Every structure is written in C-alpha cells, then in structure tokens.
Amino acid sequence: MSDYRGYEGSSLEFLKNNQIKIGDSVKILTDITYSGIIMPRYEHSDDQHIVLKLKSGYNVGIEISKIEKIEKEQIIEKTSEQTEEISKIEGLPKILLLSTGGTIASKVDYRTGAVTPVLTAQELNSSVPELSKIANIDAEVLLAEYSENIMPENWLEIANKIKEYEKSDYTGIIVAHGTDTMHYTSSFLSFALAGFPIPIVLVGSQRSSDRASSDAALNLIGATKFITETKTKGVYIVMHQDESDNTIACHIGTRVRKNHTSKRGAFQTIGDYPAFIIAENQIQKNMSKEFYSSNQFEPKINLDTKVALVKYYPGYNPKLLEQIIDSGYKGIIFEGTGLGHVGKVMYDSIKKAHEKGIFLGMTSQCIDGRVRMTVYESGRDLLNLGIIPLENMIPEVALVKAMWTIGNYQNSEEIKKIMLQNIASELSE
C-alpha cells in the first residue's frame, strides 16, 4: 500500500499501469519535460494529478491527462556523506538556521512513503537555492518533532541553544518549527531570552512539502530578508500574510495566533497589523515600539508547568477547577467570557484557589480586546476574589508567561508584578 500512498482513482490507476511507484525517479513528457521523484500525497485531493519532486527541491503537481509519456530513470543513491555543500558568498550576512521539525522540515522516506519531520537543516537550506544569495546560512538540527509534540522541556532546549549564540557573528537566528504550537514557543523564547541582541525568527509552512503549493520556500526567504534588512531585535513569526505568494507577514511573537487550520495566511497578529510586511521586496514597518521593554539581556531559562489554562463555558463544573487546585497547581489562567467573567457558580472554588496562594489571571476567550473587570458586578466580584486581570494578553501567551514567571520568581507579589509588566510586547495599547 505504501507504494501508492495517497493516490486513488485515476492517478492510482495511471501509476499502476505504468509500473511506477512512490520514490521512483522518472522522466515525464508533457509540453515540458520533467525529471524528478514521485511523491506520496497526504490530503484528500483530486485523483487527476501526480506530484513530482524536482531536482531543485520544489514539488510540482502534473495533470495525468496531459502526460504524453512517463518513464523510469536510474535511481542514483545518495549516501549521507554526499550532502551537497551550499557555496558561501563572502561578505553576506551570516544566519543560523535551527530546525526543530514540523511540516517545513518534513522529509519523505521514498521507500516507505512515510513523512517524518527529519529533514536536516542543511537539506532545508539547500532546498531553497535563493537563500544562498541573501545570506550565508549555517544549519543545525535541534529536534525532529511536529509541534503538537513540542513540550515545555523543548522550549528550554531551544532557548538554551539560542543563548549560546549571544556573542556570535550571526545577524539573526531562524527556527524552523511546526505551525501548530509555534506561537506558544515564540512566547516562551520572548520571555526567556528577553533582550537577546539579534532577531530570532520562527518560520514554518502550512503545506506539506509533497504538495506543489508548499509555502516553505517563500517563508524562509521572507525570514532571511527580514533579518538581514531590518536587524530588529525581538522574537517574530514569519509566514504568508494570505493566500497570495506576494506578501509575507512578520508578527510579534507574543501577539500572534494560528487562527486557521489550513490557510497559508493562518497566523494573525491579534488586534493590530503585523509588525512588518514584506511585499515585492519592500519591507514596511508597522511596529512603533521596541520589542523588549529592556535592552539588557539577562536570560531566565526556567519554567514551571504547574499552570493550567481553564476555559469557562456554561455548564463548566467547578469540581474540575477543584481538581486542578488539589493537584498542586501554582497558577491558573482563566479564559473567561467577554470582559473577563465566569459564572457565580465558580466563586467558591476560586476563593479556595486564592486562599491556597495560587496565581489567578484572567484573559478572555474573545481573544481580541482587553479584559475590564470593573465594568460589571461579575468582574468586580472576581477582582475581590483575587483574580488579576491580564489586560489584552492573549490567553495562550498568558499561560506561557505564567509558566515562565512562576518558574523564575518565588514571591507571589513579584509574580503578580511581573505578570502585569510588559516584557516582550505581550501587552499592547
């Protein structure tokens, strides 16, 4: 089955009839002649195309009805020693590319058809030949995980690795990362490495590399241009702005969310324009403040995972909150409704949590806008119960910040103070 993974109907029949399977090197004649490797397909897609990985590293989808001839070519086995070295041009800025996995770093095993996030950073680099004209890129594999499996422990690993390059000659650091939890990782790096002297840019792709429309290359080029041309401190996420290949958005790493499951422009800055837009080789800046509130780099690479995110909804049973309280949690971030409310039914448990010294922060499941707990009775009640309103901090960012704050500060007054202090642009006007 793995010989034809993802192919069905006409395209499956076409491959079988021509005795071609996934991983075969082929030459295809249409009005153009293509040489490349047959790739598996992963999404439910039409059965009219086959996907070919070209030697440039790009994929193309070829309509089977337009194929005049397809023939197998001899497979040239590459050993790992043969990895092509990208030639470096003297004088270009130096960038470090760390790969943690994700779709952007996915590699197809041509024998089994399985996709695993283990493309070496070197391969990632060489798959986008344009990069070598903009910067000299050193590449390193740090992790090989899809981002739903990136854990807080991995955030520490990434931060500690980046910290090593505080005093390097790199102009910036690119972190290739899965998109699912990229904004959680960017938030942690923003707090843990506050003040880091060079830009840190997370970049991913929404389309797996077996698809002709992969956005990986353009996002990588955008990240590289952003670093070399702006040299702006901070932690950013660089991805397509929308479905077009013309515009790349550069988001503040603590003000961004993945707001669509599949679109290329899935990432959005909440409540504002992206910090930078790269369109037709022009970089437009919309960011009016420094990313970090302090220029001093004093890394604090610790965290405590005993923080829970609790989304309130009608019917939420306060017993679930009690279970969190009784499990030794040190912080709870509420995703309340509207301006920062939860039902009265929660009050007794919240009181108990406060008495236990648990940090209680309020954000809103509206996601956009500011919590304001002085407007209504419910909000004032909750303030009296000891809940701290976290302004317009995005719930996920508040969660990560609380893990980081509680991991680095002990005193409860200090934790409150830090949670409300704007450290890495997590609060905005």
Residues 44-83 interacting with its own copies (rule: CB under 8 A): 44
Note whether 276 binds its own copies by CB under 8 A: no
- Closer residue to its own copies, CB minimum distance, 130 or 368: 368
Burial state string for 278-294 with b = 16 or more CB within 10 A and e = fewer than 16? beeeebeeebeeebbee
The dihedral of CA 301, 305, 310, 311: what is its sign? positive
Note whether 307 binds its own copies by CB under 8 A: yes
- Closer residue to its own copies, CB minimum distance, 179 or 241: 179
The DSSP letter of residue 337 is B
The pattern of x and - marking residues 179 through 198 that bind its own copies according to CB under 8 A reads xxx--xx-------------
Note whether 313 binds its own copies by CB under 8 A: yes
Query: Largest Cα–Cα distance of the chain, in whole Å?
Result: 76
Look at residues 388, 372, 294, 385 and name the one whose alpha carbon lies nearest to residue 340.
Answer: 372
Note whether 345 binds its own copies by CB under 8 A: yes
Size of the site for its own copies (CB under 8 A): 74
Q: Which of the residues 180, 272, 304, 381 is marked catalytic?
A: 180
Chain-centre distance for alpha carbon 202: 6
DSSP structure string for 373-405: TTSSHHHHHHHHTTPEE-TT--HHHHHHHHHHH
Of the candidate spans 65-73, 278-286, 340-348, 407-415, the one that interacts with its own copies by CB under 8 A turns out to be: 340-348
Note whether 404 binds its own copies by CB under 8 A: no
Helix (H) or strand (E) holding 12: helix 9-17
- Closer residue to its own copies, CB minimum distance, 43 or 84: 43
- The whole-angstrom separation of Cα 140 and Cα 315 is 48
- The whole-angstrom separation of Cα 203 and Cα 179 is 8
Note whether 215 binds its own copies by CB under 8 A: no
Query: Scanning the structure block, which residue is given the tokens 């007054």?
Result: 413
Note whether 209 binds its own copies by CB under 8 A: no
Among 151, 160, 231, 357, binds its own copies (CB under 8 A): 151
Of the candidate spans 78-86, 124-132, 148-156, 157-165, the one that interacts with its own copies by CB under 8 A turns out to be: 148-156
- The whole-angstrom separation of Cα 118 and Cα 105 is 6
Structure tokens at 321: 């909150």
- The whole-angstrom separation of Cα 55 and Cα 92 is 25
Of the candidate spans 30-38, 245-253, 364-372, 421-429, the one that interacts with its own copies by CB under 8 A turns out to be: 364-372
Among 83, 323, 384, 421, binds its own copies (CB under 8 A): 323
Query: Scanning the structure block, which residue is given the tokens 């508040």?
Result: 398
Catalytic: 103? yes
Note whether 42 binds its own copies by CB under 8 A: yes
Report, in Å, the least distance between residue 232 CB and its own copies: 26
Catalytic: 224? no
Q: Which of the residues 179, 224, 230, 363 is marked catalytic?
A: 179
Q: Which of the residues 53, 233, 258, 401 is marked catalytic?
A: 258
Q: Which residues carry out catalysis? A: 103, 179-180, 258
